[in-house]
Amino acid sequence: MTRNKKNLSSVLKEVLETVKPSGKELTEINKTVESFLKKIEQNRKNRKINAQVFVGGSFAKKTLIKKDSYDIDIFIRFDKKYKNELLSDMTEKILSGLRAARVHGSRDYFKVHASDNLFFEIVPVKKIRNPKEAENITDLSYSHVNYIKKKIKNEKLLDGIRLAKAFCYANGSYGAESYVQGFSGYGLELLIYHYKGFLKFIKAMAKIKEKTVIDIEKHHKNKYSILMDLNEAKLKSPIILVDPTYKQRNVLAALSEETFGNFQNVCRNFLK
């Protein structure tokens, strides 16, 4: 038993060394990000647009995993006085002269290639006080970033998140997109925080046999209360993970039974 445990620890340590960006890489990314933010901020001031620029995603939360190409999320958080349909056009103005390509979506966002292996995704969001005011899922990004940064500072947990992301990416269950129907990055961060580590998370996932409800901040009295409070469409996933920043949202709503079933098999085989 001890030998197996030691072997498993060695495997995880080796994997971590391959998926964790080096200090040099992070420093270089940080320099490029800071330089880009200065340009955006200057353009914003010149156009007298009331907005706040902030870095989001894995880079901001220190959960970035090593890739051939890095995408850094940058959010432009607009004052509530601006109409939803104008946010993308205003973002385009702020990015004037920065060779930004517009990408169509539920709310258009932009891509800027900073180098051969680094690009930015610039996403317009609305500054909201209450999550119910969100007009787009990206409007919740600011509270998601702040929650993770506040709750997860322990390096072991951050490493656990990196391992979980690499593990899910390797078995095709990373991503909430319709063609994946898997775990989002935010979902994995919350699960590692809840289970207190990568191995505990894997073991817990392998054992699940019925619909599981996780309410980290205990927003609801009990499981029945959650099932009554959440929209029926958000309850179809095998795991209901209540968003700590918005009690009426299931972070894992995109997770399908099929993807989760495959993921469980991988977890069990890995543990064997």
Q: In whole angstroms, how far apart are CA 18 and each of 15, 105, 222?
A: 5, 33, 41
156-182 per-position pLDDT tens digit = 999 999 999 999 999 999 999 999 999
- The answer to whether the CB of 87 falls within 8 A of the CB of 107 is yes
Express each pLDDT in 207-256 by its tens digit. 999 999 999 999 888 877 887 777 777 788 999 999 999 998 999 999 99
Q: What is the pLDDT of residues 129-156, one digit of tens each?
A: 999 899 999 999 999 999 999 999 999 9
pLDDT of residue 6: 61
pLDDT digits (tens, 9 = 90+) for 51-108: 999 999 999 999 999 988 999 999 999 999 999 999 999 999 999 999 999 999 999 9
The pLDDT-based confidence of 16 (bands split at 50, 70, 90) is very high
pTM, full prediction: 0.92
pLDDT at 4 over 80: no
Please give the C-alpha separations between residue 255 and each of 14, 18, 51, 182, 205, in angstroms, as whole numbers.
29, 27, 33, 5, 13
- Measured at the CA of 251, the angle between CA 231 and CA 169, to 5 degrees, comes to 140
CA–CA gap between residue 253 and residue 233 (Å, rounded):
8
Structure tokens at 145: 């970033």
pLDDT at 231: 76
pLDDT band at residue 37 under the 50/70/90 scheme: very high
Q: What is the mean pLDDT of residues 5-23?
A: 88
